[in-house]
Structure 1
Amino acid sequence: MEEFSDIGSYIRIPCQQIKLRENEQKSHPALVEAIAEKLKANGRNYLPLIVEEVDEDEYEVLLNADVLEAAQKAKLDFVWCILADEQRRKQIEVEAKQRFEVNILTASEKTIAEMLDYIKSVNPSFRQIDPEQAAKAIVENRSETWKSFRPLTKLRCQIGEKKLKTLETYFCL
């Protein structure tokens, strides 16, 4: 494993030592091709991948996976990365707008409605939700005893089991 002092460092890592996260969705081929063309022309990436070391000389992409896909397509041997760790993963996800830390048990009705409105704008499966109505139902029924988001499915505000995973990305308990 890398020394702790390497965390946050800008390092060059062989492409074959970096893997996509298991649940990582592949980037659109047109996007990968466009990035690959720039990488071929420059011979390197300027936007670093954010990676976490999962084993000795084995890394997993936390952010900018499309750059890795493009580097592989461009047949680059190495890519520039910033090394992160588990502790910094959450911060990276927040900074990259992949995760928010809005506590659904303490946030105002307005904040919850604004977050639901944002989710609705980026996730088509939330389009039937009325953010104000759902936020009101959440605030009126929330309880410090909630250990999961499952009670939301009983509030009759269009939040069902299938939406819980998405909500966990934007809210915490």
Structure 2
Amino acid sequence: MSKYDDIGKLMHLPLAEIEPGEPCSESEFIITAAAEAILNAGGRNWIPVIVKETGDYQYQVVSNSFIYAVAQQAELERVWCIIIEPESKNIEQAKILAREAIPKVNLSTASRDTILGALRYLVAEPGSALNRLDVIVAANRISEANRETWSNFKPITALRCGITSGKKLDTLAKVFYLSPPAPVAPPPPPPEKVSVKRASRDEIFDRLNYLYTNKIGGFENIDAEKTADAIFNANKGKWKSLTPIAKLAPGLDTAKMKIIKTLFSL
């Protein structure tokens, strides 16, 4: 038999040629009662088992494992099956459609409405760790965040949206995943250092804008235009160091001042 000759076909396969997949968690009572229903309907399972081909006339269950368990209980010689291409994305789709797996969405790119719907699903689960979550607040703050840079869900705990570390954060993995962050290209070479006392306003701005544009050291949160104006217009005649710059604009902490000193001198 060719590897993909029977993809998509509905086939009446011998049960002995089908290996089990993941075990069925349904109760023995339900399986037994369903087996009786199959036998009462002429021994045909009207919902097929989804299988993949593992060799010549050899198959394995990938979805609808409940139907397979019922067929075994009913001691059927043959069971109706659909053969699927054995790619992981196809198998995952089959499990999702059979309600054997929960679909996940990419939190890196998900819309606000998709995030809101997923959070509502989690909140509605019995015993959910998020049962008191304000889903509208959480969805708004998560959707507004720069999620494309996240490598895990931990940044959510800093959004003050009601999702903290531990069980609440771990619950998100049921419905969300993250794309690997795109590699960050190194920034272009920095401009030459200039004297802050002799530099033109444009020279000062160019260096601050370099830090802002390339998101170096948190300078993406600094207003390059206003900071350049403040530095240029300051009375720098008596400066003996660059330390006074820290008082000219909010957010210029010790770490940022170290970066300032790589682009400016007295």
Fold-level similarity (TM above 0.5): yes
Following superposition, the deviation at residue 38 of structure 1 comes to 1.3
1:15-164 matches, within 5 Å, as: 15-22=15-22, 24-41=23-40, 42-85=42-85, 86=87, 87-97=89-99, 98-100=101-103, 102-122=105-125, 124-128=127-131, 130=133, 131-147=135-151, 149-151=152-154, 154-155=157-158, 157-158=163-164, 159-161=168-170, 163-164=171-172
Following superposition, the deviation at residue 123 of structure 1 comes to 5.5
- Secondary structure of the 2:54 match is strand
- Secondary structure of the 2:52 match is strand
Unpaired runs of at least 5, structure 1: none
CA distance in 1, matches of 2:16, 2:128: 36
- Secondary structure of the 1:5 match is coil
Structure-1-length-normalised TM-score:
0.76
Structure 1, residues 36-88: CA drift from partner, whole Å, max 9, x if none?
00122222211101112234444332322111111111111211100002152
Following superposition, the deviation at residue 136 of structure 1 comes to 3.0
- Secondary structure of the 1:62 match is strand
- Farther off after superposition, 59-68 or 76-85: 59-68
Q: More strand by proportion, 1 or 2? A: 1
CA distance in 2, matches of 1:80, 1:30: 23
Q: Which position in structure 1 is the counterpart of 2:175?
A: 167
Compare relative contact order (CA 8 Å, sep 6+) and give the higher one, 1 or 2: 1
Unpaired runs of at least 5, structure 2: 180-266
Structure 1, residues 3-36: CA drift from partner, whole Å, max 9, x if none?
32311100122223333434x4421222211210
Conservation of the 8 A alpha-carbon contact between 1:90 and 1:99:
no
CA distance in 2, matches of 1:48, 1:12: 9
CA distance in 1, matches of 2:95, 2:142: 25
Amino acid at match of 1:48: P
CA distance in 1, matches of 2:59, 2:123: 33
Conservation of the 8 A alpha-carbon contact between 1:51 and 1:62:
yes
Following superposition, the deviation at residue 101 of structure 1 comes to 5.3
- Secondary structure of the 1:50 match is strand
Query: How many pairs are equivalent?
Result: 168
Following superposition, the deviation at residue 137 of structure 1 comes to 3.8
Structure-2-length-normalised TM-score:
0.53
Percent identity for Structure 1 against Structure 2? 29
Conservation of the 8 A alpha-carbon contact between 1:17 and 1:57:
yes
Cα distance change of structure 1 residues 3 and 138 upon mapping to structure 2, 3 Å threshold: same
